[in-house]
Amino acid sequence: MDGQKDSDNIVTVALRAAISHWFIMVDYGVKAINSDTTSLEKMVIKVGIVGGTGYTGVELLRILAVHPEVSVSCITSRSEAGMPVADMYPNLRGHYDLAFSEPDVAVLGACDLVFFATPHGVAMRMVPELMSAGVRVVDLSADFRLKDLDVWANWYGMAHESPEWAEKAVYGLPEVVRDEIRTAQLVANPGCYPTAVQLGFLPLLEQGLVDPARLIADAKSGASGAGRQGKIGMLHGEIGESFKAYGASGHRHLPEIRQGLSGAAGGDVGVTFVPHLIPMIRGIEATLYAELKNPADFDRLQTLFEERFADEPFVDVMPFGSHPETRSVRGANQCRMALHRQEHSNIVIVSSVIDNLVKGAAGQAVQNMNIMFGLKETMGLEAPALLP
């Protein structure tokens, strides 16, 4: 019997020693139990950003600076390599000691997740190697948004170089494909206009209440939507005290909008999309028009929208007849919308507003990251909008 007890004690000691070096996979990362403590110690998500000098890049940095589960380990820029991030963006002084660096796949491959905040054509060339390294990617460019690569090539003027990953990429509109995002290795972050337009039309198309061949999206964006590059047409002296449509004969976001709305409708849609430039920095307002098949359905639309988005943390359905303002979502990862009807018309009017740099870009990218790593979806994105 004593021999059996000694044997049991030896096994117990061996198990304890093994447990002291054991790693447990929990949701988004690894938590280690070491020999000095019995508490679980969380591993922070190591993030890299490719293309950090534009407005989307700095917005990612701003949001991630207060994210409790993220460490930004590298941020790249070929043109500004060596420049401290805080020298370019003084609002980040005291938050980052990083300097911009040349893109290095080996360095990026050591990250848990990489954001691409680059012009089209960059991510598709780098993503395959990162995928092979097991890195997860959220691409904020247009490289992986469209499934029809002939359409993509037509709009972007080049052949797609990563068709395998274009097929596998998940189009990351959380309100539609949250479950797919959870397990995705590559997420294509939706564009700004497509986010505002799709969210506003979704309940109507999902329930088959409107004519899918007669959809109109009349949208307006602030100047930051055009990026940070110096262009004469974007100077304050050119756009101040002015208002204009652009891309009325066809805009690159049109096929993305059509693709998303077709998915919601379960078939082809006909959509007219006209963007406008307004002389403000941030914000998108999309006024959406759709024709009800049965005008009597107007009586249930408010309830339909409220129920559809009841569990969505970043969609706010306002009371019927409200007028959402872009300033009410400035700096927030929020889409705010309201329904309207004029007299006895059978046309549904939806007003949908977002911050083009947050829910329309960096904020939605962080929302996708949170979902991918099993974090609380609102983590790092809970601050209210800025007013005034």
Helix axes 192-206, 298-308, angle to 10 degrees: 120
Domains belonging to the chain, first-starting first, are 45-189+362-373 (3.40.50.720), 192-354 (3.30.360.10)
Kindly provide the b/e burial profile for residues 75-84, where b requires at least 16 CB atoms within 10 angstroms of the residue's own CB.
bbbeebeeee
Give φ, ψ of 113 to 5 degrees. -145, 145
* Residue 22 pLDDT: 33
So what's the pLDDT on residue 42? 58
Q: Is 10 exposed, middle or buried (0-12, 13-18, 19+ CB in 10 A)?
A: exposed
User: Which residues belong to the active site?
Assistant: 192
C-alpha distances in Å from residue 135, one per residue of 65, 164, 231: 21, 16, 35
Token readout for 235 is 């100077």
**Secondary structure of residue 259 in the 3-state scheme:** helix
Check residue 237 and give its pLDDT: 82
Q: Where are the beta strands (DSSP E) in the chain?
A: 23-26, 29-32, 41-42, 45-50, 70-76, 113-116, 136-139, 170-171, 186-188, 215-221, 244-245, 271-277, 284-291, 315-317, 335-340, 347-354
Nearest to 330 by CA among 359, 373, 308: 359
- pLDDT of res. 239: 82
pTM of the entire structure? 0.88
pLDDT of residue 101: 96
Rg for the chain, CA atoms, rounded: 24
Q: Find, among 312, 285, 290, the residue nearest to 301 by Cα.
A: 290
The single-letter code of the amino acid at 284 is I
- Give the DSSP H or E segment for 217: strand 215-221
Q: In this predicted structure, what is the pLDDT of residue 229?
A: 76
Number of H helices and number of E strands within the chain?
Answer: 13, 16
CA distances from 351 to 11, 99, 112, 223, 318 (A): 67, 41, 38, 20, 10
Residue-level pLDDT, tens digit, the chain, 388 residues: 444 444 444 334 334 333 333 332 333 343 332 333 333 345 699 999 999 899 999 999 999 999 999 999 999 999 899 999 999 999 999 999 999 999 999 999 999 999 999 999 999 999 999 999 999 999 999 999 999 999 999 999 999 999 999 999 999 999 999 999 999 999 999 999 999 999 999 999 999 999 999 999 999 999 988 777 777 877 888 888 899 999 999 999 999 999 999 999 999 999 999 999 999 999 999 999 999 999 999 999 999 999 999 999 999 999 999 999 999 999 999 999 999 999 999 999 999 999 999 999 999 999 999 999 999 999 999 999 999 8
Beta carbons within 10 angstroms of residue 255's beta carbon: 21
Distant-in-sequence, close-in-space partners of 385: CB < 8 Å, separation ≥ 6 = 327, 328, 329, 330, 331, 332, 334, 355
Q: Helix axis angle, 253-265 relative to 174-183, nearest 10°?
A: 90
* Residue type present at position 356: N
